[in-house]
């Protein structure tokens, strides 16, 4: 499998034996160029839930703002919904922000 995420600032490819980050940068010659580099693999393997709880405790104890805001969560949900829209439309490209804000994803096991 492979995920290929393309945005205005570059491209991220993640998959089996693929971990590339391409960013749009000013070129040495004319215009802009895509510069490729490997995604760093020195990330500590820990549960995301554990990290989230630790950050929540730190924010409460130290009065800090969380690194992920409600707006970040909304944008992540919009991206997840865009994956579903793209799949439903045969892999079509989906522009963000989504125009239809009434979209939802249901589990057929619980909603018939």
Q: Has residue 8 been placed in a domain?
A: yes
| pLDDT tens-digit map of 16-51 | 777 777 777 765 556 666 677 776 666 566 677 888
The total number of structural domains that make up the chain: 1
Name the maximum alpha-carbon separation found in the chain: 58
| 59 or 40, which is more confident | 59
CA distance 2 to 16: 7
C-alpha radius of gyration, the chain, whole number: 18
Q: Has residue 5 been placed in a domain?
A: yes
Q: Has residue 10 been placed in a domain?
A: yes
Give the residue numbers spanning the domain of 4. 1-40
Q: What is the pLDDT of residue 20?
A: 73
């Amino acid at each position: 499998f492979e995920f290929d995420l393309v945005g205005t600032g570059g491209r991220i490819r993640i998959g089996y034996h693929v971990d590339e980050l391409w960013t749009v940068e000013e070129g040495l010659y004319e215009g802009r160029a895509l510069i490729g580099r490997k995604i760093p693999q020195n990330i500590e393997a820990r549960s995301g839930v554990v990290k989230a709880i630790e950050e929540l405790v730190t924010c409460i104890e130290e009065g800090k703002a969380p690194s992920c805001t409600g707006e970040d969560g909304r944008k992540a949900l919009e991206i997840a919904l865009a994956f579903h829209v793209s799949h439903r439309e045969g892999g079509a490209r989906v522009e963000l922000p989504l125009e239809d804000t009434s979209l939802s994803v249901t589990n057929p096991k619980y909603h018939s």
